[in-house]
Amino acid sequence: MKLPPLISVPLSWLYGMVVHIRHKLFDLKILRSEEFDIPVVCIGNLTVGGTGKTPVAELLIERFSEHYRVGVLSRGYRRKTKGFVLSTPTSSARTIGDEPRQMKLKYPSVPVAVCEKRAEGIRLLRKAHPEIELIILDDAFQHRYVEPWVNILLMDYNNPVYRDRLLPWGRLRDTRNQIHRANFVLVTKCPDDLNPLDMRIVINSLGLFPYQSLYFTRMRQGEITPLFADRAVGKVREGDPVIAMSGIANPVPLLENLRKRFDVVAELTFDDHHTYRLSDMRRLEALFAAYPDAVVLTTEKDAVKCRDFAAANWWYLPVDAIMADERAQRLLADLATLAQR
């Protein structure tokens, strides 16, 4: 529920004061950041979800794995466990979180762990896997107890930070001036027809320093995939009836795309990182009774949470982060340079 401005504005100011004091304590070395002897690449954002962080993390896993033995450490948001948990092929979203579970399913040979205390998590992950040469720290831009070698900050093109406000008035969980700590800023979810003028507006609005690099990326939706390839019946084609179900921060682009490609007979949208319950399945049963020929079409992040109860007529839509090949190579070259300092 969105709070009225009379309440949200004062709370936003108070929140901003607390955030500012915390950063100042780190800047003055009163609160200490720990640095490690192997490259730590941090991916994060200033807002509460919806910037396409997981596809970017997966892109970095794929590219860095060509040159390093990579490990991934995440917080494991909304998991039901506490402390350090090292993922296994059978780990569930309840034990490690939906996004770490998704990464482990896609890259089973990559060590993936979760821990609220990132410095402790890095030490325990390296103890369990001493062969690790580089760690990707997922969603840790605000977690300053670790000093990363490289900071990558993501910003949604459709919800730029320079037009946003601090929680709970807006969606910012950190102050805009913290952009200066990023080595790289990736503008995600850009339209396919992004033109130089629109890019210049973003560049001028962000006001980055000379030591910072800016990249524009977009999300590419792949071919719909069955949750269970060995049990899938037939193939879903464009124009077929589907029930669109999602629990992500911003479902609007997904739904718009699905409406163009399929006959969306019903939409079930939930909060980001939603934990599916029996009541949700009962709603689905009622929809299947009304639309017996429809299939469920969901996101890849939601799919990892539904494997225990999904049926053969459940499909998901994978999403990849992409950029022009030459820009991708330049970004990776810049990252490699910083990671070898």
Percent of the chain with pLDDT over 90: 75
> Other C-beta atoms within 10 Å of 300: how many?
23
CA angle 12, 14, 18 (to 5 degrees): 115
Q: Is 273 helix (H, G, I), strand (E, B) or coil?
A: coil
The per-residue pLDDT for range 2-34, each reduced to its tens digit, is 789 899 999 999 999 999 999 999 999 999 999
Query: Which residues are CB-neighbours of 24 under 8 A, at least 6 positions away?
Result: none
The per-residue pLDDT for range 291-332, each reduced to its tens digit, is 999 999 999 999 999 988 888 899 999 998 887 656 666 777
Specify whether the backbone of 76 is left (phi greater than 0), alpha (psi in -120 to 50) or beta: left
The per-residue pLDDT for range 130-148, each reduced to its tens digit, is 999 999 999 999 999 999 9
The per-residue pLDDT for range 96-129, each reduced to its tens digit, is 999 999 999 999 999 999 999 999 999 999 999 9
> pLDDT at position 333, please?
74
CA distances to 25, 127, 244, 246 from 267, rounded to whole Å, are: 46, 45, 5, 8
The per-residue pLDDT for range 267-286, each reduced to its tens digit, is 999 998 898 988 999 999 99
64 and 150 in contact (C-beta within 8 Å)?
no
- Residue 152 pLDDT greater than 70, yes or no: yes
> How high is the mean pLDDT of the chain?
92
> pLDDT at position 338, please?
64
Amino acid at 244: A
